[in-house]
Amino acid sequence: MLKIVAFLMVVAGAINWLTIGMLQYDYIAGIFGTQANIFSRLIYATVGIAGVYIALTTLFKGGKLYLSFRKAKNISDEKKKSEYRRELEQEYNLEPKSNYGQNKE
């Protein structure tokens, strides 16, 4: 969920920069009055933190960003868990869990 919120904030920040570049209008400052307003600065800082978070998670996932809008399943049976894990690995083209963290040489 955090990744989805961060991604949406980065998109909102990108749209703000688009409006600044093309229309010379900062809609965050327009909402809160000025760029120096504390609320505007909090929004700018939060968007920046979200951008850093998205960049770092993408780098540590081998250059891939995975967003999942699917609700997590509460699975108690180990056999069902492993089947669900394999399904997700196939869907997102991930390596099997047993290979995570091993060097590929």
| Burial classification of residue 18, based on how many CB atoms lie within 10 Å of its CB (0-12 exposed, 13-18 middle, 19 or more buried) | exposed
Look up residue 59 and give its DSSP letter: H
Q: Which residue has the tokens 């609700």?
A: 71
Q: Give the per-residue pLDDT at 4.
A: 85
Can you give the pTM of this predicted structure?
Answer: 0.58
More confident call, 89 vs 55: 55
Q: Give the per-residue pLDDT at 72.
A: 55
What value does the mean pLDDT take over residues 1-10?
86
Yes or no: say if 72 and 7 are a contact pair by the CB < 8 Å rule: no
| Mean pLDDT, all residues of the chain | 79
* Digit-coded pLDDT (tens) for 27-52: 888 888 888 888 989 999 999 999 99
Could you tell me the residue ranges of all domains in the chain?
2-60, 70-105
What value does the mean pLDDT take over residues 12-34?
89
With a cut of 90, say whether residue 97 has pLDDT above it. Answer: no
Other CB atoms within 10 A of residue 9 CB = 19
pLDDT band, residue 58 (cuts 50/70/90) = confident
Other CB atoms within 10 A of residue 93 CB = 8
DSSP reduced 3-state for 10: helix
